[in-house]
A and B are shown apart, each in its own frame.
Chain A
Amino acid sequence: MRWLFLFALIGCAPVRDGTTSWQAGELEQATTAWTSGGGSPSAAVHYNLGVAAYRAEELPLAVAHWRAARRLKPRDGDVVHNLAHVRGDLSGVSAPVGEPLSWMEFATPVELGLIGIALVGWASFGLVARRRRRKGTLAPWLLLGATGAGVGLAGVHGAISWTRAPVFVLQTDVVLRDGPDSSGQELGQLGAGSEVALVAAAGPWVRVADGASRTGWVPAGAGLVVGPVPAGNARLAGLADVAVPAEPAASEKP
C-alpha cells in the first residue's frame, strides 16, 4: 500500500510542479513540467495544456486539448465547463468525430469493463462455492455471469471502437479536397478547432473524415495536431507520423 501511495505521489509530481510554476507566472516551465511525464498525457495534463493554450489565445489548440481530456475523463466538470465556455467562439467548427457518447458520462468503456469484470468475478465465485458445497441453484449465478459478460464485452467493444487517431485542425479554413492534390475539387472547409479522424495518407496529403460525414484530403502540413494514437496500432501510428505533430504523439484511450 505504501508503495502504491509512493508511486501515486511520483506520478502526480509533474502536474503539481507545473501548476506551482503556473501560479508563479512561469508559463514555459509550467508547460515543460506538465509534459515531462512522457508517454501518454493524462486528462489532467491535457486540461492544463488547454488552459495554457487558451491563455496564449490559441483557441483551436485549447479546444483540441480539452477535447482530448474529455475523451479520457468525460465527467470532468472543469473540462466540460471550459468547452462550454468557448463553444460560442467556435463558429464554423463542425462537430467532432466520435463525440463522447452520452452514456460515457455515466461510465466510460473502461469503467463498464471493470463493472463487467466485477460481476463475472462474483458469479465465478458463486459457481465455485456452489460446486464445493454440492448444493444450490445454478440459474442465478449463470444469469449474473451472463450479465457481467455482456456488460464487460460492451466495455471492451466500446474501448476497441475508440481505436482511431483523432486529428485537430489548428489553422483557419483548411480546404477539404476530393483528391490528394491542390487542384482537387473543394468539398468544403474545416474550421480551426475541428476534430477529424485520420483515414489514410498519400505523400504530403492525409485523408480525413469529419463529424458531418465528409471525407476528403487536406495537406498534412496544414497545421494538424495528432491526438491520442492507439497503442500497438502500427497502421494509424504510421499515418500519424505524416501529420505535423504539434504535441508528442500519445497512445492513450478514455
Chain B
Amino acid sequence: MVSWLLRVLVLCFVSSPAWAASVSLVVGASEFAAGQTTTVEVQVVDGKPLAVPQITVPDGFEIEYLHPSNMTIRSGGRLVRVVRYQYELTATVEGSFTIGPATVELASGEDLVSLTRSVGILAEGDMLNQPFDAEISYTPSEAWEGEVVVFRYRLRSRVRPARTRWHPFDFEGLVAPRDGDRPRREYSIEDATGSIWMDETWIPLIVTGTGDLSMESTVLNLFLPTDERRDPLGLFGRTRAEVVMAGPAPLVGKALPPAPDDFSGLVGDFSLEGGFDTTALSVGESATWTLSLRGQGALDGFVVPKPEADGLRVYDGATATSAAMRDGTYTSAARYELSVVPTRAGKVQVPKLELVVFSPSRGDYITLETPGRTLTVSPGSGTAVDVESFAPDAIPDEPVEVLPADIRGPKSFGLARSIWLGPLLPWALLAAGLPGLLALFAGGLEAAQAARERRRKPLEAVVDPLARLRHLPEEREARLTELDAAFRECLALREGVAVGGLDRSAAVANLPDGLREKVVDATRALDRARFADGPEDDLVERVITLVDAVGDAA
C-alpha cells in the first residue's frame, strides 16, 4: 500500500506541469584553434522542447547537430527532466567570438533563450605540436591592488593522463577571496590529427602586493598510461611519469592612486541597485531597503555604510553574498537588507546611498549611487517615538564592545578539563579481547588433548600381539616374520609408542631382569631362524610366553 502511494506521488511529480523551464548553453572549450572541433551542448531543464534548439553562431564557424539525450535528476526535492542536445562546433578563422544564444520552442508555446558564451580561436596549427604541454597564466597580467585576477593552469595532452599532480603554487602577494570556487574542466577537442585532452582550473585571487608578482615556473608531474600491465589478467595498467615545466605567468601589481576619504575599499567594476518594499508606514514600523551590489571584483570585508538622516534610524539586516567563476571571470554579488525605522511622523527623506569604489577598467575612483526615497510616515497607534535606548539605566553609558558579526560566542556547557583516554585504549582493547582469547586458548588446549587421545587410542585398541600369534601362517618365513612383529608390537605397547617409532634395544633394556635375558635369547634364536636357517624348535611357544610376560610386565 505504501509503495503504491509512493509510486503515485512520484508519477504526480514527474507528470506535473513545469514550474520554471530554463535553457543553458555549454561550449566545451573556451579556447581552441582554427580547424579544431569542440562539443556544444544545449540543456533544457524542466521543459518539453518541440524541436531541436537553434544556436546562433558567427561567420567562421560550422555547427553540426549530433543527437539528443534525456535524463531525470532530483532537484529541490522533486524530479526534473533534462533534455540535452549535442552539437559539434568547428572553427575556421581565428579571433574572439560570441557563440549563441540558443533558442528553443517549448510545447507550452514559450520560447526560451539562453545566455551567450565567449570563445577565443587561435591561429590554425597554433594549438599543440607536441604530445603534451602545460601552461599557467594570470588574467589580467597587470592588476591594481585589491583587484581580482584569475590564475589558470592548464594541461593539454594527446593522451588522456592517468593522473596529474601540480606542485603547490606559491601565490606571493595574492590571497584567495572569501567566496567563490575553483572551477575545473576536463574536456577534449578534435583536430585533424586526433583528440587533445584538456584539463583546466581557474583560481580567483585578490592582489594584495605591488610590483612584480609573476610566477616564474611550476612543475607538473604527469602520469601517462602505457600498454604494459601490472597483473597477469591485464586489469591494471602501468603508467610512465613525465615532468612538465609550466610558466612563466607574468603579473604586475599596481598600487592604487591616493584614495578619497570616503573610499569604500571595493576594487572592481560593480553596479549598485536599491529598492524599498514599502514607502508608507507608521512610526516604529520598519521598511526594508534592499541593496544589490554585483560586478567583477571581491566583496571581502565590505560593510554597507548606513546613511544617517533626521527622523529615521537604519539597522543592518540580512546579508547574502555569492561569487562564481564564469567564462574565466570572477563575478560576485551581494544582497544587503537594511531596516529603515522612522522615528517621527510625516514625510521622512531617506538619503541616497553613495559608494566610492575603484574601477580597474577606468583606472580611477568612481561613485556608485542608488537614489533615496521619501517615506510617508503616519503616527501609528502608539506615540512612543523616543527609541534612543531600550536598555535600563543601570547599564553604564559607555561604548559596549560587540562581537564581530559572524563569530560564534562562547560555550556555556562543557567539561573544563580534557579527559584523554588514549593511554587506556590498548589496555581496554586487551581487556575486551582477553575472555575471548582465553576461550580460544582453552578450546585449543582441549582440541590438542583430544588429538593426543585420538593418537593413543588406536595403539591400544588395534595392537594385540597375542591376537597376531593365534593365527600364524603355515609358511615358515611368514610365520617367523609374524613372530618378530609380535615381539615388536608388545615392546611398543609397553613403551607407549607407535611401532614405527620403537627403539628396540632401549625397550629391551627397560625390561625387568630375568625377563630381559629371556627376550634377548628368544630374539637371537628368532634372528638365527629367520636369517641363518637356524632351527625353529619351540620358538613359537617361547615367543607366545614372552609376549604374554612382557604384556603383564607393562
Contacts and interface: CB of A to CB of B under 8 A. Distances in A.
Nearest to A40: B418
A88 B425 contact: no
Nearest to B442: A131
A229 to B, nearest CB: 12
A34 B401 CA distance: 20
A40 B414 contact: no
Given A51-B410, A110-B422, A124-B435, A41 B300 contact: no
Interface stretch (A148-156, A175-183, A237-245): A148-156
A134 B412 CA distance: 54
Given A159-B422, A231-B420, A231-B423, A12 B439 contact: no
B374 to A, nearest CB: 39
Interface string A8-40: 100111111011101001000010001011111
Contacts of B412: 15-16, 19-20
A174 interface: no
A223 interface: no
A36 B416 contact: yes
Given A54-B404, A109-B422, A110-B425, A128 B435 contact: yes
Nearest to B405: A85
A131 B443 CA distance: 7
Nearest to A153: B429
A19 B411 CA distance: 7
Contacts of B442: 131
B434 interface: yes
B439 A52 contact: no
Interface in A128-183: 128, 130-131, 141, 145, 148-149, 152-153, 155-156, 159-160, 162
A55 interface: yes
Contacts of B406: 81, 85
Interface secondary structure of B, over-half rule: loop
B28 to A, nearest CB: 32
A81 B409 CA distance: 11
A113 B422 CA distance: 9
A44 B413 contact: yes
Contacts of B429: 113, 116-117, 120, 149, 152-153, 156
B439 A130 contact: yes
Contacts of A152: 425, 429
Interface string A98-140: 0000000000011001101110110111111011000000000
Interface string B404-448: 101111111111111011110110110011111101101100000
B300 A88 contact: yes
Specify which of B300, B404, B411 lies most central, judged by the most chain A CB atoms within 10 Å of its CB: B411
A125 B439 CA distance: 10
Interface residues of A, number: 73
B410 A52 contact: yes
A125 B421 contact: no
A252 B418 contact: yes
B506 interface: no
Contacts of A199: none
A182 to B, nearest CB: 24
Given A55-B401, A156-B425, A45 B435 contact: no
Contacts of A145: 433, 436
Contacts of A52: 410
A41 B416 contact: yes
A42 interface: yes
Interface string A67-95: 00000100000100110010110010000
A156 B426 contact: yes
Contacts, number: 165
Nearest to A88: B178
B403 interface: yes
A202 B357 CA distance: 52
A251 B420 contact: yes
A41 B417 contact: yes
B425 A155 contact: yes
A120 B433 contact: yes
Contact of B410 (A22, A42, A72, A85): A22
Nearest to B168: A212
B436 A253 contact: no
Contact of B416 (A14, A118, A160, A250): A14
A232 interface: yes
Q: Which of A39, A85, A117 has the most CB of B within 10 A?
A: A117
A85 B403 CA distance: 13
B175 interface: yes
Contact of A19 (B410, B420, B436, B437): B410
Given A113-B425, A120-B432, A42 B408 contact: no
A43 B422 contact: no
B378 interface: no
A51 B439 contact: no
Given A124-B435, A127-B439, A232-B423, A37 B411 contact: no
A186 to B, nearest CB: 15
A48 interface: yes
Interface string B442-471: 110000000000000000000000000000
Contact of B418 (A51, A72, A123, A128): A72
A161 to B, nearest CB: 11
Interface string B240-278: 000000000000000000000000000000000000000
B436 A44 contact: no
Contacts of B437: 124
A217 interface: no
A47 interface: yes
Which of B168, B177, B178, B436 is the most central at the interface, judged by chain A CB atoms within 10 Å of its CB? B436
A172 B422 CA distance: 35
A54 B428 CA distance: 40
21 contacts: A11-B416, A12-B414, A19-B412, A25-B400, A41-B416, A41-B418, A44-B413, A47-B410, A47-B411, A54-B407, A72-B418, A87-B178, A88-B176, A117-B432, A120-B436, A124-B436, A130-B439, A212-B168, A231-B423, A251-B420, A252-B418
Given A12-B415, A51-B407, A110-B425, 17 more contacts: A11-B415, A15-B412, A15-B414, A19-B410, A41-B416, A47-B410, A48-B410, A48-B411, A72-B418, A88-B177, A88-B301, A110-B421, A124-B432, A124-B434, A124-B439, A148-B432, A155-B425
